[in-house]
Structure 1
Amino acid sequence: MSTSTPVYANLLPPSWKVKISEWLKEDCPSFDWGGFVVGEAPKRATLFCKSEGILAGVPFFDEVFKQLDCKVTWNFTEGEWLKVATEGGKVKIAVATVEGPSRKILLGERVALNTLARCSGIATASGLFLQKARAAGYQGIVAGTRKTTPGFRDVEKYGMLVGGVDMHRYDLSSMVMLKDNHIWSTGSVTNAVHAARSVCGFSLRIDVEVQSYDEAVEAIQAGADVIMLDNMEGESLISNAKRLKDEFSAKHKFLLESSGGIDIDNVQQGGHVDNSIDIISTSSIHQSTKHVDFSLKIDPSS
């Protein structure tokens, strides 16, 4: 078995580089006034990190400057924790250098920084959440959700991976998730599960959101693969999870998922963490995250 560090960049679809081209076009749709001012003189810029966190989003940063004929050299590896140091009275650490024509460095600056900051923030929040869950004794899967920013999904899902958590379903086509609206529209949990299975076949899992023990039983017996105990907490969540496993795990293969209102501040509470629950999913690691603070400064002497 290989023990090398995973290269998550190899997961990215062919379309991701096109998106970066679109971001550059969006940021400079017409004349580049600042680029005219600085010209084509070759320069070197330093990427500084000014707040601690996990470095994530390196492929996106690299591609921005590759498309602008610039070269990036990294001092750290993606996935490393950036521990800031004091330099000249300011808290920062030199993470990378960018070399190329002055106007092109500045043309890519904001697109590259925004992407790196957001991705690193999600990786950091994911890593810290996972640490807290593990410290509380939880050994199951910690996952994000599909509540990502339209057009920015690749970056946000990538940050979750670098932070060490599961991405959950990538999009609507990746897994069948039947929520309350699906169930109400079809009349019952059973109807919704059977309709989904009739078209998705054996290759996709069906995840059903339930509101009670009885709905969970119905979902299991209908053939659902994952039972999401939505917005359950405390003794009700744990007792229902243990009861479902005790009564049905010998006859049915299923996973139990806890979701709804789980964040880093309450994940260690007994009402959320129990190993009878296979998956904890939370949007707090990507919707409510602070960015890691980066800046790019051209060396006047370069």
Structure 2
Amino acid sequence: MAASRPDPWSFLPPHQLQAMARAWLDEDAPTFDPTSGIIGRAPRLAQLLCSSPGVLAGSPLAEAVFGVTGCEVTWRVAEGSPLPPQRTVVAEVKGPGASLLLAERVALNLLGRCSGVATVAAKAVSVAQGVQWGGVIAGTRKTTPGFRLAEKYALEVGGADPHRHVLGGGGLLLLKDNHLAAARAPLEQVVEVARRAGGFTRRLGVECSTQGEAMAAAGAGADIVLLDNFTPQELHATAAVVKAAHPRVTLEASGGINLETLPQFLGPHIDVISMGCLTHSAPALDFSLRVLSPGEGDGDEGTR
């Protein structure tokens, strides 16, 4: 029996959710809001709606934002579920009227952005699965400053690997072209020093732009060879040569790969395809909040 995927909500540390929610609200509402006084704190019921097809992501983030303002969310669509083209109620939110509107825009932005990333990630994974390619579709560090955790989480929801979360990589040290240029030392020496500095728990990757560099990196002991900005023809030819000489090295392809060109880069010797477009070019899905009138919804809005 195949192992089931973990619950994506469990990936997000609760204390980080609270901290991020407060920071996002502080940005949008750093001082008092006169319109809140007009609305008051009487209880209200609202619907969260989506009008775009895609994959729902960002529910824990949106719920944290509403929670900070004293509202409760009941989800009608599960995180990671497909969203149809027609307008769909994804959740109901209840709480003080002023609090609903305080959290509204922040929560909608989070859902739109995260769902957009998850949708593009899911499309890329589907393309790879459609040709029965057995490798990994991954993101990159090309994320929005201050929003990386959310975007990396959305990649997970969409079925892609989030790749490195930070420059130090956690379990991966990646020597990019500028690392090698700035080091001004032979590749073998740079790899040796980096491996010693990273410790035994981290894998080491080296970015390469030619077949010669790729062979040198694999020969120097790199665990991962990143083939950057190769044409599909160059990529597959280089990958075959490197794998023949170093069958255990992981080959990653990256650089300008998008959903349209992705099939050209899927090959038997490529283990990972990392795509910056999954985060930096993902269009947001269309979410909205609708405060219900008296009598709408299930029961009295003041007691739900």
TM-score when normalising by structure 1: 0.93
Provide Cα deviations, 1:126-152, integer angstroms capped at 9, x if missing partner: 000111122133210100001111110
State whether residues 255 and 278 of structure 1, in contact with CA within 8 Å, keep that contact through their aligned partners in structure 2. Answer: yes
- Closer, same or farther: CA 94–241 of 1 in aligned 2, 3 Å: same
State whether residues 176 and 207 of structure 1, in contact with CA within 8 Å, keep that contact through their aligned partners in structure 2. Answer: yes
Distance 1:227 1:161 in 2: 23
AA at the equivalent of 2:110: T
Helix, strand or coil at the partner of 2:263 = coil
State whether residues 52 and 286 of structure 2, in contact with CA within 8 Å, keep that contact through their aligned partners in structure 1. Answer: yes
AA at the equivalent of 1:34: T
State whether residues 178 and 209 of structure 1, in contact with CA within 8 Å, keep that contact through their aligned partners in structure 2. Answer: yes
Helix, strand or coil at the partner of 2:289 = strand
Structure 1 residue 113 corresponds to structure 2 residue 105: no
State whether residues 189 and 215 of structure 1, in contact with CA within 8 Å, keep that contact through their aligned partners in structure 2. Answer: no
Instruction: Within 5 Å, give how 1:157-236 maps onto structure 2.
Output: 157-173=152-168, 174=170, 175-186=172-183, 187-236=185-234
Instruction: Within 5 Å, give how 1:199-278 maps onto structure 2.
Output: 199-249=197-247, 253-269=248-264, 272-278=265-271
Distance 1:177 1:34 in 2: 50
State whether residues 206 and 224 of structure 1, in contact with CA within 8 Å, keep that contact through their aligned partners in structure 2. Answer: yes
Helix, strand or coil at the partner of 1:43 = strand
Give the match for residue 88 of structure 1: none
Helix, strand or coil at the partner of 1:47 = strand
CA RMSD of aligned residues (A): 1.4
State whether residues 47 and 292 of structure 2, in contact with CA within 8 Å, keep that contact through their aligned partners in structure 1. Answer: yes
Helix, strand or coil at the partner of 1:127 = helix
Helix, strand or coil at the partner of 1:268 = helix
Distance 1:227 1:136 in 2: 24
TM-score when normalising by structure 2: 0.92
AA at the equivalent of 2:258: D
Structure 1 residue 104 corresponds to structure 2 residue 102: no
State which of 287, 295, 302 in structure 1 corresponds to 2:280: 287
- Give the superposition deviation at 1:209: 0.3
AA at the equivalent of 1:45: A
Give the match for residue 148 of structure 2: 153
Distance 2:127 2:69 in 1: 41
Helix, strand or coil at the partner of 2:64 = helix
Distance 1:70 1:157 in 2: 26
Give the match for residue 63 of structure 2: 62
Distance 1:57 1:5 in 2: 17
State whether residues 18 and 68 of structure 2, in contact with CA within 8 Å, keep that contact through their aligned partners in structure 1. Answer: no
Count residues in correspondence: 291
- Give the superposition deviation at 1:15: 2.5
- Closer, same or farther: CA 2–277 of 1 in aligned 2, 3 Å: closer
Distance 1:203 1:28 in 2: 43
Give the match for residue 11 of structure 2: 11
Distance 1:226 1:16 in 2: 33
- Give the superposition deviation at 1:84: 3.1
Provide Cα deviations, 1:89-147, integer angstroms capped at 9, x if missing partner: xxx11111000110000000011110111000000000001111221332101000011
Give the match for residue 89 of structure 1: none
State whether residues 206 and 225 of structure 2, in contact with CA within 8 Å, keep that contact through their aligned partners in structure 1. Answer: yes
Helix, strand or coil at the partner of 2:252 = strand
Helix, strand or coil at the partner of 1:137 = coil
AA at the equivalent of 1:276: H
State whether residues 176 and 205 of structure 1, in contact with CA within 8 Å, keep that contact through their aligned partners in structure 2. Answer: yes
State whether residues 17 and 64 of structure 2, in contact with CA within 8 Å, keep that contact through their aligned partners in structure 1. Answer: no
AA at the equivalent of 1:283: G
Give the match for residue 74 of structure 2: 73
Provide Cα deviations, 1:183-228, integer angstroms capped at 9, x if missing partner: 1122332222111011112111111001111111111121111000
Helix, strand or coil at the partner of 1:276 = coil
Helix, strand or coil at the partner of 1:116 = helix
State whether residues 52 and 84 of structure 1, in contact with CA within 8 Å, keep that contact through their aligned partners in structure 2. Answer: yes
State whether residues 48 and 93 of structure 1, in contact with CA within 8 Å, keep that contact through their aligned partners in structure 2. Answer: yes
Distance 2:272 2:279 in 1: 17
Distance 2:176 2:255 in 1: 13
State whether residues 16 and 154 of structure 1, in contact with CA within 8 Å, keep that contact through their aligned partners in structure 2. Answer: no
Distance 1:203 1:77 in 2: 36
Helix, strand or coil at the partner of 2:104 = helix
